[in-house]
Each structure stands twice: as structure tokens, then as C-alpha cells.
Amino acid sequence: SIITQLADLFSTGSLTGRTLLITAGPTREAIDPVRYLSNHSSGKMGFALAEAAVEAGARVILVSGPVNLATPAHVERLDVVSAQQMAAAVDSRIGEADIFIATAAVADYRPRQVPAEKIKKDQPQLTLELEKNPDILAGVKQQHPGVFCVGFAAETTDLERYARAKLDDKRLEMVVANLVGSATPETEGTFGSETNVLQVFWPGGETHLPLAPKGQLARQLIPVIVSRYEQRDMT
């Protein structure tokens, strides 16, 4: 539509000269050579944001877990599998970034021990001992406090409370939150779906992006990020 085209014109160039590092998709944590733990995540929101950021003039580095998505034009993509690999990839490129957007659904835990051979299924029960994965976003903010950090929060309940806690605990500039699972009919099927509803929180403010295709939400979110980024030294 003409409105969208005008919006495009206005947003074009707002990120010229800036580098964005974006993570997307799930991670997979090996249990053994054939089994793994993962999180539901299609990667669509992160890929849509990468595309929208390029449209706004940014240089974009996209670190992606295993997804079935084509790389948007002019985006540099690094593929990883596990949370530890994603942390290493981010660590290797964060020095170039002005803005870090962590959309990836990183597995919080990984199996403590990973046998070299397939676990046989002789036992009626099995106990998996898990340990924490590195918190990639918290690590970036601690070691690179100057980078403008946007976190994502997928919650099944108490969305605002958890999103605000994440914002404060990790001292982020912004948290983009959405309800997942079948918490409401509106959000049912968020994983893998083409649409989403987003609640955006920053210190002292928030905005709501109603149900829309992920590509459209990404184009709405980029100006919100740019606006907060440009005010970053004034708050």
C-alpha cells in the first residue's frame, strides 16, 4: 500500500552506518549422537528483523540456529547448532555491533554428559541431568555495556512481570515480549506461525504491536528500536 511505501521511505537510512548483530531460531543440545533437546522456534521473527534492518540501511550479521529459512538479501549469516556454538559466534562478532537483538530461543539447559554412542532403550525410565547454558544476552551486556541490547521474552504467563524482570536483571535497553503456547486464542500457534503480537518494554515506557504478519511487525519494531537507540545517551 501507499502507507507502507511511505513508511518505508521514512525509515530508509535510519540505520545507515550501524551494524546489527541478530540471533535467531532455536538451538539444539545433544543428548547423544541421535537425540537432542530443543525449543520451539521457526526463526521467522529474527529473519524478518534482519531483512527490515537491511531495508533501514544497517549492516546485519545474523547468527542462526537450525531453521528452514532463506537468508535475506545483503545479510551475513552464521549457522550454529548448540547454545555454546551460538555464544562463541556472537562473541566473535559482537565487537562490530552497535545494536544486538537476541531473538533466538536459546536452550537454557543442556545435558551434563553426552555419551559418544547412542543410549540404548533397555531401561523403562531414564534420568537426564541438565546444566545451565551460557546466558548469551547477559554476557554481551556485561562485557560490552555500550552495545544497545534488545532481548526477547516468550512466556506462557505473567508476560509483563517476566519481561520487566528480564529488562532490569540484565540491564537491557529493551525487551520484546510475546505470549506463547495456547494461553489465549490470539496467540495460539505463535510458534512457526506467520503472525504475532508483541509487547515492547524499555525503562520507563512500553508499546504494543497488535496482531500482524511477522514481516510487518519487524518493520514496525525497527523504528521503535531506532527511536530508543537515538535517545540512549539522554535517558
Chain positions contacting a copy of itself, by CB under 8 A: 31-40, 68, 105, 107-109, 112, 116-118, 121, 123-132, 154-157, 180-182
CA distance 111 to 33: 12
Determine contact, residues 131/155, Cβ cutoff 8 Å: no
- Min dist CB 137 to a copy of itself, Å, is 12
The radius of gyration of the chain's CA atoms, rounded to the nearest angstrom, is: 18
The Cα–Cα gap between 32 and 21 comes to: 31
Task: Using the minimum distance from each CB to a copy of itself, give the nearer residue, 181 or 223.
Answer: 181
Beta bridge partners of 205: 202
196 is catalytic: no
Smallest gap from residue 174 Cβ to a copy of itself (A):
20
Q: Which is nearer to a copy of itself, 107 or 217 (CB)?
A: 107
Q: Evaluate whether 61 touches 76 at the Cβ level (below 8 Å).
A: yes
Min separation Cβ 126 and a copy of itself, Å: 4
By residue count, the chain amounts to: 235
- C-alpha span between 110 and 26 (Å, rounded): 13
Minimum distance from residue 15 beta carbon to a copy of itself (Å): 30
One of 39, 133, 178, 196 is an active-site residue; which one?
39
- Pick 5 or 68: Cβ nearer a copy of itself: 68
Q: Give me the sign of the Cα torsion angle 159, 160, 165, 166.
A: positive
Cβ distance to a copy of itself smaller for residue 76 or 135: 135
Cβ nearer to a copy of itself, comparing 15 with 105: 105
Of 46, 81, 33, 69, give the one whose Cα is nearest residue 151.
46
Cβ-contact 116, 37 below 8 angstroms: no
Report, as residue numbers or ranges, the catalytic residues.
39
